[in-house]
Amino acid sequence: MTKKSSNIDLERLSDAVRSQLDTTPKPRGRKPGSKNRPKGQRYHGFKLGQPRGHRVVFTYCGAPGQDVYVAGDFNNWDPLSKQLIDKQGNGTYSIRCLVLPGRHEYKFVVNGEWILDPANQEHACNERGDWNNVLIVE
């Protein structure tokens, strides 16, 4: 804190009160927060100041009570980052994700097992000799 009014005499304050006062000026510059980040930084995988992508709905039909995730090049193939939810309890799992425009490969992870999307017939062979689903976002 700095002296705000002229009628306060800092010398008359007790030593305990004076020790709590901070008379050093605060540093100026950018404050922490998303509005003050430089334009080149990334935020949740998207560059700031650029379009964030398109909403894509992934849907998987299976048995109720399964753990279903989607992993692809749009989330660095993280098998636990995007979980599909069965909102009605009937085995229809879905999630809505932001995906950048372009060609993307993905797979579902159901109870720890990597499987192809049965509703998408577009496939491509990956570098391990396995198959991935292909999604094209325009």
Domains and CATH numbers, the chain: 46-137 (2.60.40.10)
Q: Per residue of the chain (138 residues), what is the pLDDT tens digit?
A: 454 445 666 677 777 776 666 566 666 665 555 555 555 555 555 566 666 788 999 999 999 999 999 999 999 999 999 999 999 999 999 999 999 999 999 999 999 999 999 999 999 998 889 999 999 998
Give the pLDDT confidence score for residue 26 in this predicted structure.
62
Question: If you compute the radius of gyration of the chain from its CA atoms, what whole number of angstroms results?
Answer: 27
CA distance 52 to 97: 11
Give the pLDDT confidence score for residue 29 in this predicted structure.
62
92 exposure class (CB count in 10 Å sphere: 0-12, 13-18, 19+): middle
- Contact predicate 69/109, CB 8 Å: yes
User: Do β-strands 46-47 and 54-61 pair in parallel, antiparallel, or remain unpaired?
Assistant: unpaired
Q: Which of 119, 113, 109 is nearest to 77 (CA)?
A: 109
